[in-house]
Amino acid sequence: MIKSTLLKAVHAGAEQLQNYFGKKFTISHKEGINNLVTEADHASEKAIIETIKKDFPAHIILGEESGEIISSSDIKWIVDPIDGTVNFAHGIPLCCVSIAVEKQGEIFMGAVYNPLLNELFFAEKGFGATLNENKISVSDQTQVIKSCLVTGFPYTYLDMPNGPLNVFEKLIRQGIPVRRLGSAAIDLCWVAAGRFDGFYEHKLEAWDSAAGYLIVEEAGGKVTDFEGNKFSPYQPHILATNGKIHDELRSYVDKNNF
């Protein structure tokens, strides 16, 4: 039942994304330059929440735009109605709906759907990961120097040791290709699909990473914080790789190695 509702919810959000994409809509700003929210984000989140509440009225829902709807349930839905809002606002089709389901602090199901590229990623804990119902797996690359990586930068730059620009510079000065797509959820899914060998980012929220994190792990990859600890979407740092380059890439991002 939860899987059915999850898929209905991502499609409901994606329908709103498609309805607004490439058209004129209201845009406002959150904290930081170019940290946008559009009427499409609100419409998508509303459609998602209504879908979830219809089937599970007592469940907790954490949405990027509406905050947390609290109840006594031990199941929480973590919702990003449009991940990659800046891309979306500029007509760039690298944006998606991302929803994860958590029970007692553990993510056990997640879906990321980009209807503009017709890519639906899904994972259930212990059952692997799929793209459009076809099983996916991470890459076999064993060296960072031969890897293709992806990252993102926070809207409000954090003045930290070994921050985003420091790490980026260290990698690109060695000639390692590092991309920036503008959607952490897509970044994670593309690691899961073997398109990228690794992804790191210094500051994400739970709705950015919760679904993609599970999809990477179920595709055979590894996800931790920068110090190699078990990943939690409620802390800001993420390192997601095919597992084979994980320790080597972590040596670049761990502030203790700066």
Active-site residue, 119 included: no
Active-site residue, 64 included: yes
Active-site residue, 197 included: no
Among the residues of the chain, which ranges form H helices? 2-20, 39-55, 85-89, 164-172, 184-192, 206-218, 246-253
Catalytic residue among 83, 187, 197, 254: 83
Distances (CA, A) of 235 to 113, 203, 226, 238: 24, 8, 10, 8
Q: What are phi and psi of 22, to 5 degrees?
A: 80, 5
Active-site residue, 247 included: no
Catalytic residue among 208, 217, 218, 254: 208
Q: What are phi and psi of 32, to 5 degrees?
A: 95, 155
Which pair of structure tokens corresponds to residue 71? 């109840």
Catalytic residue among 85, 130, 224, 241: 85
Q: How far is CA 116 from its chain centroid?
A: 17
What is the DSSP-derived secondary structure letter of residue 74? Answer: S
Catalytic residue among 41, 45, 64, 217: 64
Catalytic residue among 41, 65, 80, 187: 80
Active-site residue, 80 included: yes
Nearest Cα neighbor of 17 from 45, 54, 50 is 45
Catalytic residue among 49, 82, 99, 245: 82
Active site residues: 64, 80, 82-83, 85, 208
